Amino acid sequence: PADYLKLRKHFVAMLETMDIIHYNSSLTKSVYNSIWKPKADKSRVISITHSGISAHSELKEFNSPILRITFLGAQSEAKGYFFLRKALDEIQNTGKHFVLNVPFSPTEPRTYINNIGRYNSSQIGGIMKITDVLIVPSIWNETFGFTVIEALSYGVPVVVSDCVGSKDVIPRGGGIVFDHLSVQSLISAINELNADTLRAMNKSIIDAKPVKSICELSFEIKDKLYSGNWSINRQKGDRN
């Protein structure tokens, strides 16, 4: 529509006046760059956090007789809930034992679904104690996704789609990224999970220390966004 194109042109014009742009993920940058080609690379990709997240570095045992999967999104197509359910339906038919924790009452119940109810930030720690793996199966682009770093902050392995921006913060060996267009890709990722692989993923997370405090993030933003040649140019009056 003409109105949308006019609005997009307006925003692109504003972006062109920026000295530097902070993208919260490589996915966010790719989405912007798909409709706007900057004349020069005036950007930094820096993951984000919030003051309620801190590293707990919990060494987990993974001694539950069943795989405890947690999904903390909404019961919607965009968040990938039905995509995940389709994958789990197929896995259940193979005889694998698991439970799926969700924060809502499902419209179509399954024997493997456990409704943990609505939650708030103070309950995240308790939820992670009953979680072996967090799955974020979004099928629409999600520029970041705080639940991923919340899980990592407790040493919980994660399985995320390639539509989730916070995949950037998953340390090597600490999670699995799957193809959001392929149910089989998600099934394969879940089938890789057992006590040994989960313990190895947990150790990778603890060793890598991927979760930044809000203070550490502030210093990183200061160093990467408020230092460098562009700030010198600004002092010389190249920008108003």
Instruction: Tell me the pTM.
Output: 0.91
What is the SS3 assignment for 175? Answer: strand
Distance (Å, rounded) from C-alpha 61 to C-alpha 96? 20
CB 186, CB 176: distance < 8 Å: no
Regions in the chain scoring below 70 on pLDDT? 228-240
- The pLDDT value recorded for residue 46 is 96
- Write down the residue that tokens 């039905």 correspond to: 82
- The pLDDT value recorded for residue 235 is 45
- The pLDDT value recorded for residue 228 is 63
- The pLDDT value recorded for residue 35 is 86
Using a 10 angstrom Cβ sphere, with 0-12 exposed, 13-18 middle and 19 or more buried, the burial of residue 188 is middle
**DSSP per-residue string spanning 86-137:** HHHHHHHTTT--EEEEESS--SS--TTEEE-----GGGHHHHHHT-SEEEE-
